[in-house]
Amino acid sequence: RRGKMAKSTQLIDNEVFRAYATYTAIVLLKMMLMSLITAYFRITRKAFVNPEDTASFGKGESAKKFLRTDPDVERVRRGHLNDLENIVPFVGIGLLYALSGPELSTALLHFRIFTGARIFHTFAYLIPLPQPGRGLSWAVGYSVTFSMAYKVLKTAWLL
């Protein structure tokens, strides 16, 4: 058993895979942070969706007025959904890319640019920065994932 276990944890000894693990953990933690920011705005703006969430504000009509949408809450939620739409492909394709034997320096370049672009995208969405700031950071992350997908398909292609 010990031998098998040692073998199967070898992935984490591979430098490209370690880089993938580091950046994937970072972008997923960044995405998880959106939940906390949503909660913060829901509480400070007193804007909820579920009746049971407003029960502590009183009963009946007095609590009902907190069942409303707030522009700041909706903005964070859009940022969160955009993260899901873009970070999910990065995590999936990035794993295959890390296993397709790229050079460490090339892999690091991909992971770093993607992670930087998504962190910038979050600031651009939440501040908000004037366009095309957010649009460009989205396109940069998108292109990185696309480039990794190209490498994966070139290496693994078996249809």
Q: CA–CA separation, 76 vs 83, rounded Å?
A: 10
**Which distant-in-sequence residues (6+ apart) come within 8 Å of 142 by Cβ?**
86
- Whether the Cβ atoms of residue 107 and residue 85 lie closer than 8 Å to each other: no
> Closer CB to a copy of itself, residue 61 or residue 158?
158
Residue 132 CB, shortest distance to a copy of itself, in Å, is: 9
Cis peptide before 128 (omega within 30 of 0): yes
Residue 149 CB, shortest distance to a copy of itself, in Å, is: 5
Which residues form the interface with a copy of itself (CB under 8 A)?
A: 1, 4-5, 7-19, 21-22, 24-26, 28-29, 31-32, 34-35, 49-50, 52-53, 55-56, 75, 78, 80, 84-89, 91-93, 95-96, 99-101, 128-131, 134, 138, 142, 145-146, 149, 152-153, 155-159
Q: For residue 124, which phi and psi values (nearest 5 degrees)?
A: -60, -35
Residue 79 CB, shortest distance to a copy of itself, in Å, is: 10
